[in-house]
A and B are shown apart, each in its own frame.
Chain A
Amino acid sequence: MSAELLEGSEALAKAMISAGCRFFAGYPMTPFTEVLEGMAEHLPEVGGTCVNAESELEAVGMAWGAAAGGARAATGSVGQGLSLMQESIAEMCFARLPLVVLNMARGQGDYFQATRGGGHGDYRTIALAPADLTEAVSLIQQAFYFADKFRNPVLFMGDYYLAHVIEAVDIGPVDFEALPDKDWLLDGSTSGSGTARIISPLMPVKRNAEVFVEYGDYLETSGDKIAAIENGMEPLFESGHCEDADYVVVSYGTPARIIRYAVDQLRSEGVRVGFFRPISLWPFPSAALTEATRTAKAVGVYELNAGQMVDDVRLSLRDKVVESIGGISFDDSGFGIAPELTPARVEARIREEMANLSNEVDA
């Protein structure tokens, strides 16, 4: 398929459908609303279902039911709506169900929510954060693949820019390795057979199962599952100009796109600066970050919040100076789109940090 000129939210909707998503439920909240509109328009064209849920609680519940029925299902919202969904997201991890959840965030205040989880118990969700639309339409298809592969919810971290920037993108299906059939899905066909299926966060088997699993043992396997995901997927990242960099800026999502541009500009002037962009926020690309910052004297983390991902960078780089150099973007829109994303401002901020660096070295 060739590229089409599409607004981000519609491109995301079409890419989800290309990935085989056939059930979507949502409750309007900008900038997630526009994705919901896209799904409402395009899902019926392929025989899928898009339901206007009464709240975020019901949206995630409906998607949960559809996922249990074997459909590729998705829902989403913005940070606040995601807060309402946390209980269900946690339980779906325990119930071993796939789901794709979009967080079309305002700013980047939801990093902790996405990577630490706002829910209960021992669980983790894969979190993927694209920097531009070309990457997003491919990454969201990968989200469905990961969700099915690991039978676990996957978060997709978008924002206002991603929803509204118009770019030429190819939303054709992306090929991934074939996955086994969903021999666990519920369609009623095993009822009355003596071996009826059960999907439950509390117990994986019926009382008469050949191998019975006690509740406690089942809970224990939740921890094993976290390790299985970490061992089963390579963390995703992008880096540039890091080979001989004195200073590396770490950033994710839309701000990373601005950082990438600013670092390119600085490099053309001979400034020894590099950038590193985690694409999977969990699992976090710690090993790659360690390698990318090998020559760096210090590392700056540029994120549009009071300092959240900086924790993961510090945990990855225990012997480096790591500073938070971003901040909350105080724009009146509430969507976190300015002024912290002005390239000149970002460039000046990096220069300032690097000037301190040479002062410290000189002293």
Chain B
Amino acid sequence: MSEILETATPPKRKAKLVDDFEPSLILEGKHQLCAGCGEPAALRSTVEIIDELGLADRAIGVFGIGCYTSFSPVLDLEVLQALHGRAPSLATGLKRVQPDSIVFTIQGDGDMVNEGLQEVIHTAARGEPVTCVMLNNGVFGETGGHMTSTTVLGQRTKNTLEGRDPKQHGFPIRMAEMLAPLDGVAYVARGATNNAGNIFQLRKMLQSAFEVQRDGLGFSFVEILTMCPTGWFIQTGEAPDYLADKMASYHQPGIIKDAREGA
């Protein structure tokens, strides 16, 4: 029989406050994004891993343009703000002149796959020792839910009102699978933020990606599927399942390439 909880006196152990859960590299616990957005969890996981690996005093984030850009002034990490699509080339120049730093990019699918596709492909092919993180929600979230190159077939967006039809809009690009075969690429994985288990897996992927960069093994890439209930035009609570059913069935989570010895 379990112990009966004694409630007459306050517990000896101190109650945890909100602050106790705030990662040390985030200056402000609040974020400006919509309820149910998957990006805060993705960014939090990224900066927590940087902290846990002891890389905090070497890390520089190069940010693209999207909803996540609002995090650039609230992270206690050095930030270089890039133009839409151009983060990988800025990261290249920065890493070349500061080779001891840990350089990562944060871009959305619209930023990386639409506007700046050739940037990330060539950065990967050159084997630049940087970590590119792509937040993939399948829409231009910041403009209000428009089709990107990763929007899955049948998905409704503001400019594919009847759902994405391949006859008119072509097929989605599977970014992680596209980069993996390139020789300069050491690590490629796709994670998701739609439940605690997936976030746990995502953290391990991010850890591997930053270890690859720390050890100078080449280019590393982590794609993160994130919810965008606002841009998907669904109820907030439905977004995690929508991600699993619609997005993850096409953009399948998992480790796609790990070129490290013994991996």
Contacts and interface: CB of A to CB of B under 8 A. Distances in A.
- Contact-residue size bin, chain B (C-beta under 8 Å from the other chain): 35 or more
- Contact-residue size bin, chain A (C-beta under 8 Å from the other chain): 35 or more
Interface in B61-81: 62, 69, 72-81
B90 interface: yes
B81 A49 contact: no
Interface string B132-163: 00000000000000000000000000000000
A15 B79 CA distance: 32
The B interface, classified by DSSP as helix, strand, loop or mixed, is mixed
B53 interface: no
A58 B98 CA distance: 18
B77 A53 contact: no
A64 B60 contact: no
B177 interface: no
Given A58-B119, A203-B73, A192 B86 contact: no
B246 interface: no
Interface hub of B72, B78, B83, B102 (most chain A Cβ within 10 A): B78
A352 to B, nearest CB: 49
Contacts, number: 165
Nearest to B28: A207
A67 B93 contact: yes
Interface string A168-200: 000000000000000000111111111011111
A61 B119 contact: yes
B90 A188 contact: no
Contacts of B93: 23, 25, 51, 61-69, 73
A178 B54 CA distance: 37
Given A22-B97, A69-B94, A87 B77 contact: no
B118 interface: yes
5 contacts: A23-B93, A53-B89, A59-B89, A186-B94, A196-B79
Given A191-B57, A192-B25, 18 more contacts: A25-B93, A49-B96, A53-B89, A57-B119, A61-B82, A61-B92, A62-B89, A62-B92, A64-B93, A73-B93, A87-B83, A187-B100, A188-B98, A191-B60, A192-B56, A193-B57, A196-B79, A202-B72
Interface of B: 24-25, 27-28, 51, 56-60, 62, 69, 72-83, 86, 88-98, 100-102, 118-119, 122
